[in-house]
Structure 1
C-alpha cells in the first residue's frame, strides 16, 4: 500500500501538462493550453489544460480532473496504478506500508479468485478450439451466429464439456485448491463442475479481469435453464456488473451514448459490427449500481427491445430508475420477431445503425403513446395511465426537463397541463418529505420550515408562481459553494486564524435543513464533518473528490472564467455593481453572500408563519397556537430587520 507521504509527493510533483502531452498535442492559448479531446470526437479543440491550477477540462464532453484522473480515465488505470505511472516518469521512489492482516486476507481471496477465473477462461477456450466436441458443438454454434474467431477470442468465449468434474479435476491437478474453485462458483459443493455441456461467456469487470461466467445450454430436450451464471462471489455481484462494459467504455464515452441490450450474443454481434458502445444487463432488471456504472461514462442511454410489445411493456416498468438517476433515455423497438442479433444479421451493420438512430423514441413519450393505444375511451384506464406517466415524470430531478415532459404529455393525453402539474407536485412533495426525514434531524422552527416547504410543492402552479421568488435559493447556495471551493483554505480572519471554509461552514450549520439543492447540502454537511474531524479543506480536496458531481463542480469553478451577468441582481438578488472579482475580494464577498442568503431564508420563514397564522385563524380564532406563531413572527422580523440594515436594505418586506 502506497504511503500517504508518497501519495502527496507524487501529487505535488506532477505537472498535468507533462502527463497529458504524452497523449494529446497541446497548444498554448493565454495562460492555458488547448487540444483535441481524447475522450470524444471533435474537430474544434475544446480540451483545456490549466498548468497554473494543475487540472484539465473538456468543455465538449465535460471530462475533467487532474493528472491522476486523466491517466485513470484514458489508460483505464486504478488510482495506485496511476500513481506508479507518474512516479516512474518523475523517478520518485515510492514508500509502501504492509497492509493490515484483514486487508491482506481480503486481497488474497480476491487475487486467488481472479487467478482461478482466468485459468477457467483459458480452459474453456482450449476446450472450444482444441477438442472435437468443442469444435463440433461450441465453435460451430458461435460461427453459425456469425462470430469471427478474433471476436470469439476477444470476448473470451469457450466451451464446458459434459464430464461432471472435467474442469475441477484438471485445475486441482495443476495446483489450484478445491476451496478456491468452490468460492469462485466453478465447482459445486459436491465437487462437480458448475458449468457442464454449455458454451461459455466470460464476464469481465471494468478493468478487464474475468470475474465470472455465463453458460448457455445448446440441447433443447434437456430440462435445464437455458442460461446460468456464476453464483455470487467475493468478486462477482450480478447486480453491479454490465456485460461488455470493459470493451464498450471508451466507445460509450466517445459516442456519448450507451446502447443497452438484453443478451450476451446481442452485445458481441453489435460490437463485431462496429457498434461498440453496447452493454447488457445479463437478463436482470437494471439496478442502481448498474445505472451508476453507465453514468460514469455518459448520461445518455438507448435501449433496444425485441419486437414483442408485451415484453416491452413489462420491461418499461423497471426503467423509472434511469429517470431517477437523471439519465436521458431513448427506446428502440425492433420489427416483430426480431432481436438485435437477428436483425443485424438480416439487414447488415449500416442499415441497423440507421434504423436505431431514426427509430429511437424518447422514453416518456414512447411510454405515453404505447399505453394510450390500449385504453381506448375508457376513462378509468386513462386515469391510471396518466398517473403512471406522471409518476415517471415526477422522478426526474431536473425541473426544466420535468416541465417540458408535462407540457408534451398533457397534449398527448388531452388534459389540462395544470392537472398534471398538480399531480406531479404531489409526488414531489412525498419525495421531499421522505428525503428530509431521512437526511436531517430537524428541530424547532427549522423542522417546521422544512415540512412547510415540502407541503408548498402540493400547491397548484398558479399559487406557486406568486411565491416562486421566495422558494428557490439555489443561485445563492451555488455562489456560497463557489466561494467555499475556490477560497476554502484562504485566511478569512488573521487575528482568529479563521479560514474561509471555517467561516462559511460554521455560518451554515443551523441552516442545513433548509438548503434547497441536495448536492449543495451534501457539500456543506460533509465540510462541517471534516472540520469536526480536524481534516483540512482545500481546493485540491474538492478537485480530487470521490463524488463525480462534486469534483466536476469544483473543476468547473476552477477552470471557468468568473464573469458577472448584469441580470444577476435583478433576477437572483446577488449584488454585483462594479465590485471586484471574488478572488480579489473574497472576504467581503463571502460575508455579503452569507448574510443575503440567511436573509432570504428568514423571509421565507416569515411567509410560512403568516400562512400558518391565517390557517389557524380560519379554523379557530381563539386557538392558543396563534399567539405562539405571532411571537415567532415578531422574533423573525427582528432578525430580518437587523440583517436588512447590515446589507443595506430597509424594512422587513424589501425585495427578495
Structure 2
C-alpha cells in the first residue's frame, strides 16, 4: 500500500484481484450513491473546463496571441504546456458557461465549482489558466492569472473550495512529482505554479508548490506519504525569509528533516534555473542547503546583534522550535549544536525545552485552544472542552480580541494615511508595530492577514477592500466581510440636531483607533511575556541565577515592566 501510495480500500481490492480472492463489499446507501454521483459530475465538469481552456489556448486567436505567447515567453515548451494542462480563458462574458450548458452540464454544479458566477457569467475571464490536480491526477480546481497591468485586478484568482477541492489538502504539482519524490527521497517545496513547471521542465521533478498560501498540517502530511525529507526553496529577500520561517514549526512537528535554500536576491526558482541551467541549479541547491533550525538561529541572532532583550526573545523562539521536534534523539542533537551557536550551557537549553514541552502537554490536558492536537481540526478540539462562558473560549484565554481588532482596522483603513507628513499609511503603521510580536499571535486568521499584507508592503503594494473580499483564502474572505460589515452603528443624532460631542464617527477616528488597538495588543503581549519571565526568575536554581542567561532575563523583565507601564499610561489604564 505504501509503495503504491493508494488508499487502504484500493489496496484491498488490488490484492484481492491479484490473487483471485473474492471479497464481499456492502452496497452503498441511497445517500452515498447520490453523493458519489455528484462527485463524479463535478469531476466531469472540471474535465470539460480543462479541455475548453486548453483548446482556447491552442486554437483561438485570443488564446494563441495572449496566453500561448505568455507561456512561451516564460520558456515553456509545448510538451510542458500539455503535461500540466495549461490553458486560457477568453474575455467574453459567458462563453464557457453557455457551452457547458449546451453540453447539458448542471448550472448549479458549475456555480459550485466556481466556474460560473451567480449571475451566470464566466468566473475566469481574460486569464491564463493553471489546472490543479489531486494526488491521483483528477482535475479538482483551477487558478487564473491576469496579464493585465491594472493593479486593481487580483493577480491570481482560484476556484472556491468544494466537495472535491480543499486547498489545505493539496499541493500544486503533487501528481506529477510523487514518483520523483519517492525515488529521490526528498520533496522540494517552492512558492508558485510557474516555479514548479519550470523546474519540472528543467529535469527537477520532485518539486511541489504551496501556491502562495501558508503551509498547512494537511500538506505536510501529504508530503510525508512519500518522504520524510523536505527542502524549502524560497526567494532570498526579506519576504522569502519570512515565508520560510513561517512553515518551520509545522514541518518539525511532523518529525520531518528540513533543509532550506535561499536563492540570491532578485531571483525566483524560475529565473535562477534559466540563468544557471539545470546542472548549475542542482549544484547550487546542494551546496547552499542549510538545516532549518541552524538557519533560523543564525537569522534571529543576526537581527538581534547587540541587543540583549531582543536576543533573549530570539533564543526563546529557537527553543520553542526545538521543542516541537517529537524525536528525542534528534532534539538532543539540535540542543547540543544550538548550545554552541547561542553560546549557552546545554543544560540550560535542555531545561528550557523541557519546560515548553511540559507546558504544551499541560495545555492540551486542560484544553487551552491555542494548543490544538495536529490530528484534530479546531471544531473537534473545542468540542472536547467544558466551557463555562458564552464568550468563545479562545477569546477568554488568549489575546484574540486584540488581534482581531488590529486585523479589522487593517482591513477597513489600511489604505488610508496614518501620518501624512511622514507618508505612512495605516497598514505600514500596523505592520511595523506588530512585526516583532507576530510570532506570539494566538489566532490564525489575523496572523495570516498581517503576514500577507507584510509581504505585499515589501513589494510596494497596499491591498484595498476588494483584495480582502475576493481573496483566494476563504477564511480571509469571510473575516474581511465581517470586518467591513460592522454591527456597531452610531444613532443618527445629526438628523436630530444633536451631533456627537466627544466621539468621532469610525471613518474619521481610524488613526486613534489604530493607535489604541496596537497599544492594547502590545500591553497584552507584554503582560504575557512578563508572566513567563517571572516564572523563570522565581523558579531558577542558585546555579542558574549566577548565569548570563539569568542576567539577560532579569534585564528583559525590567525593560518589559517599564514598557508595560508606558503603554498603560498612554491608554489611561492601571496595571498591577
TM-score between both structures, scaled by the size of structure 1? 0.54
Distance 2:198 2:70 in 1: 13
The CA deviation string for residues 507-543 of structure 1, in whole angstroms up to 9 with x for no partner, is xxxxxxxxxxxxxxxxxxxxxxxxxxxxxxxxxxxxx
Describe the SS at the equivalent of 1:187: coil
Give the gaps of 5 or more residues in structure 2. Answer: 369-576
Distance 1:292 1:88 in 2: 29
State how 1:190-269 maps to structure 2 within 5 Å: 190-221=119-150, 223-269=152-198
State how 1:230-629 maps to structure 2 within 5 Å: 230-437=159-366
Kindly indicate whether the alpha-carbon contact (under 8 Å) linking 1:204 and 1:244 is maintained by their aligned counterparts in 2.
yes
Structure 1 runs of 4+ aligned residues shifted over 4 Å read: 76-97, 436-439
Kindly indicate whether the alpha-carbon contact (under 8 Å) linking 2:214 and 2:246 is maintained by their aligned counterparts in 1.
no
Residue 106 of structure 2 is aligned to residue 177 of structure 1: yes
Distance 1:91 1:231 in 2: 43
Of the structure 1 ranges 309-318 and 120-129, higher mean CA displacement relative to structure 2 is found in 309-318
Kindly indicate whether the alpha-carbon contact (under 8 Å) linking 1:128 and 1:159 is maintained by their aligned counterparts in 2.
yes
Give the gaps of 5 or more residues in structure 1. Answer: 1-68, 440-656
Describe the SS at the equivalent of 2:255: coil
The CA deviation string for residues 154-180 of structure 1, in whole angstroms up to 9 with x for no partner, is 111000111111111110011111011
Distance 2:303 2:367 in 1: 39
Distance 2:93 2:150 in 1: 19
**How far 1:438 moved relative to its partner?**
6.0
**How far 1:123 moved relative to its partner?**
0.4
- Of the two, which has the highest radius of gyration? 1
Describe the SS at the equivalent of 1:196: coil
The CA deviation string for residues 422-457 of structure 1, in whole angstroms up to 9 with x for no partner, is 211110111222344469xxxxxxxxxxxxxxxxxx
Distance 2:61 2:207 in 1: 33
Describe the SS at the equivalent of 2:178: helix
Kindly indicate whether the alpha-carbon contact (under 8 Å) linking 1:184 and 1:233 is maintained by their aligned counterparts in 2.
yes
Distance 1:77 1:374 in 2: 45
Describe the SS at the equivalent of 1:348: helix
Distance 2:24 2:304 in 1: 68
**How far 1:98 moved relative to its partner?**
3.1
**How far 1:374 moved relative to its partner?**
1.7
2:43 corresponding residue in structure 1 = 114
**How far 1:409 moved relative to its partner?**
1.2
Distance 1:208 1:126 in 2: 20
The CA deviation string for residues 222-260 of structure 1, in whole angstroms up to 9 with x for no partner, is 521101110111110111100001111111111111000
Residues 202, 314 of structure 1: alpha-carbon distance in 2 compared, 3 angstrom cutoff: closer
**How far 1:88 moved relative to its partner?**
4.5
1:127 corresponding residue in structure 2 = 56
Residues 87, 407 of structure 1: alpha-carbon distance in 2 compared, 3 angstrom cutoff: closer
Kindly indicate whether the alpha-carbon contact (under 8 Å) linking 1:286 and 1:319 is maintained by their aligned counterparts in 2.
no
Structure 2 residue aligned with 1:146, among 64, 75, 79? 75
The CA deviation string for residues 204-233 of structure 1, in whole angstroms up to 9 with x for no partner, is 001100000111101112521101110111
Instruction: Give the superposed CA RMSD.
Output: 1.8
Distance 2:253 2:171 in 1: 19
State how 1:14-25 maps to structure 2 within 5 Å: none
State how 1:10-49 maps to structure 2 within 5 Å: none
1:15 corresponding residue in structure 2 = none
Structure 2 residue aligned with 1:161, among 75, 85, 90? 90
2:541 corresponding residue in structure 1 = none
Of the structure 1 ranges 250-259 and 307-316, higher mean CA displacement relative to structure 2 is found in 307-316
Distance 1:221 1:347 in 2: 32
Describe the SS at the equivalent of 2:203: coil
**How far 1:272 moved relative to its partner?**
1.1
TM-score between both structures, scaled by the size of structure 2? 0.62
Distance 1:297 1:154 in 2: 22
The CA deviation string for residues 620-652 of structure 1, in whole angstroms up to 9 with x for no partner, is xxxxxxxxxxxxxxxxxxxxxxxxxxxxxxxxx
Describe the SS at the equivalent of 2:72: helix
Distance 2:296 2:70 in 1: 37
